[in-house]
Structure 1
Amino acid sequence: MDIPRIFTISESEHRIHNPFTPEKYATLGRVLRMKPGSRILDLGSGSGEMLCTWARDYGITGTGIDMSPLFTAQAKLRAQTLGVSDHVHFIHNDAAGYVADEKCDVAACVGATWIAGGVAGTMALLARSLKSGGIMLIGEPYWRQVPATEEIALSCGVSSIADFLTLPELVASFDEQGYDLVEMVLADQEGWDRYEAAKWMTLRHWMEENPDDDFAHEVRAELTLAPKRHVTYTREYVGWGVFALMPR
């Protein structure tokens, strides 16, 4: 069980696997007004930065589930480094269908709503682990500007314009599903730059260290394309944010 190899390679040096910066995660933790001991479930927890830093800064406890063995190992190491291994636990598993044994104060899926077929399915999954009065976190892309053609959408790395909503449409969809949007923190272009540009150096170093690997041609193709794709399309067209929701 693992994610595609190109992501494992390109994001192997990332602590955060989305366009959020550490400052954005600190802001999100602060605005959620969590109390020490708050229990969090994070589906698609990546390298564990959200849970680990929140355990350090806000005294939460939590469990993260991720299908990448590398990222799960990095999350456990990060917990040890920050001295919070007794507060947060990371499991290498498929987050699709995962329901917590004990209801949580916060149930999150930050940037991996594909685990349940999209936003609506992921919200339904998270609801099964959420306490009454708890907060659900959804991290999701949206169109900053809608591409004029499907070709432009493909260049943004999606299969269709229909893959994303605009920000107003996304917010309206939460209301339609019976949830109040109670907070949100949005990524900015600097966050996109840090997320995307950091991959390029990692890819280059990997190529230098693995010149005879059969996968090297795919890494070369990605390194050639990725900077142009980012500055021409992703940076201009795609937004990203984390939305805090409470069921009515």
Structure 2
Amino acid sequence: MDLPRSFTIRESSHRIHNPFTGEKLATLGRALGPAPGARVLDLASGSGEMLCTWARDHRITGTGVDISTVFTARARDRARELGVADRITFVHGDASDHVAEAPVDIAACIGATWIGGGVPGTVRLLESSLRPGGTILIGEPFWRREPPDQEAVEACHAEKREDFASLAGLIEQFGALGYHVVEMVLADQDSWDRYRAAQWLNIRRWLDGNPDDELAPTLREELDTDPVRYARYEREYLGWGVFALMRR
């Protein structure tokens, strides 16, 4: 049980595996203001940057669950680096059926709602770990601009236009699930650039060191084509944000 090797190559330098900068992650933490000792569950926690920095800055406690052995190991290293390993635990496992042993104050899935088969299923999964009155955090794409055609839709990693909502439509979806949106921090084009362009440099450096690897032809083709596709479509049409939800 692990992520494909191509993914860990592509994001080998990333501490945050979505179009969020460290500054935006800190903004979200300050906006929510979790109390010292607040319990946080982060499903699909990646390299653990949210839990580790919030443990340092807000003294939360928490658990992260992720399917990647590479990112889980990196998250544990980060916790030790920041001196918070006594408050944060990282588990290698399938987040799609993980329920906390005791109710948590914040239940999060930042950019991986596929673990619940989409937004509704992920919200229900997070609910199963949340204390009454707690907060859910969901990171999710939305259409920043209406895509003009099917080519643009597919270039933004969707099969059909309806796979993503507009920003207003996504907030309406949260409402239909029974939640108020009480905070949100959105990616901008610069944070998208920092996320996606860093992937290209990671791929190029890996290719330079591994020209004969079996993955090299696929990743070389990606590096040949992805920057133009990103600039033409994804950067223009796809938004992304983290939304804080509380039960109505």
* Higher deviation after alignment, 117-126 or 214-223: 214-223
Residues 6-21 of structure 1 aligned to structure 2 (within 5 Å): 6-21=6-21
How far apart are residue 230 of structure 1 and its match? 1.3
| Shift >4 Å, 4+ stretches | none
Check conservation: 2:33, 2:58, Cα contact below 8 A. Answer: no
Aligned to 1:184: 184
The residue identity in structure 2 corresponding to 1:120 is P
The answer for the alignment partner of 1:113 in structure 2 is 113
Q: Secondary structure at the match of 2:236?
A: helix
Deviation at 1:232? Answer: 0.8
Distance (Å, rounded) in 2 between the aligned partners of 1:6 and 1:149? 29
Q: Tell me, what secondary structure is at the counterpart of 1:151?
A: helix
- SS class of match (1:83): coil
- Partner residue, 1:92: 92
Q: Which amino acid is 1:200 matched to?
A: W
Structure 1 SS opposite 2:95: coil
Deviation readout 1:114-163 (Å, 9 max, x if unpaired): 00100000000000000011000000000001212112101122222111
**Match in the other structure for 1:165:** 165
Q: Which amino acid aligns with 1:59?
A: R
Amino acid at match of 1:156: C
Name the counterpart of 1:218.
218
Q: CA RMSD in A?
A: 0.7
Q: TM-score, normalised by structure 2?
A: 0.98
d(CA) in 1 for partners of 2:153, 2:96: 26
Which residue of structure 1 aligns with residue 75 of structure 2? 75
Query: Given residue 121 of structure 2, which amino acid in structure 1 is its aligned partner?
Result: G
Q: AA paired with 2:67?
A: M
Q: Deviations over 1:21-76 (max 9, x none)?
A: 01101010011121000000000100000000000000000100000110101100
Q: Percent identity?
A: 58
Query: Secondary structure of 2:96's match?
Result: coil
**Distance (Å, rounded) in 1 between the aligned partners of 2:185 and 2:156:** 22
Gaps in structure 1 of 5+ consecutive residues: none
Equivalence for 2:131: 131
Q: Which residue of 2 aligns with 1:43?
A: 43
The 2-side partners of 1:114 and 1:128 are apart by 17
Given residue 41 of structure 1, which amino acid in structure 2 is its aligned partner?
Answer: L
- The residue number in structure 2 matching 1:64 is 64
The alignment's TM-score, normalised by the length of structure 1, stands at 0.98
Q: How many residues align?
A: 248
The match for 1:239 is: 239
Distance 1:54 1:33 in 2: 10
Letter of the 1:38 counterpart? A
Gaps of 5+ in 2: none
Query: Any idea what the Cα deviations from partners look like across 1:176-227, whole Å, max 9, x if unmatched?
Result: 1110111111111110000000011110010011111111001101111221
2:154 aligned with 1:154: yes
